[in-house]
Amino acid sequence: MSEFFAMGGYAFFVWSSYVISAVVLLWVALAPLRSRRTLLKQLRSQQMQQQARDQSS
């Protein structure tokens, strides 16, 4: 089992590539969710401003 984790002396490169790949995949999956949340906040803010302008008219 320890030979598996040692990867024939290349463990650092193999495991670091797995970690980097996992981080990139997480970022690719989560970035659109964050962008969507920000966009929805901006749209709500604009809608509230528009409603305030309409009520004051």
Q: What is the pLDDT of residue 4?
A: 83
- Kindly give the confidence (pLDDT) of every residue in the chain, 57 residues in length, as a single tens digit, with 9 standing for 90 and above: 888 888 888 999 999 999 999 999 999 999 999 999 999 999 999 999 999 999 987
Instruction: Identify whether the C-beta of residue 18 lies closer than 8 Å to the C-beta of residue 24.
Output: no
Q: What is the dihedral of CA 24, 28, 34, 39, to 10 degrees?
A: 140
Task: Output the pTM of the full model.
Answer: 0.65
Q: What is the pLDDT of residue 1?
A: 84
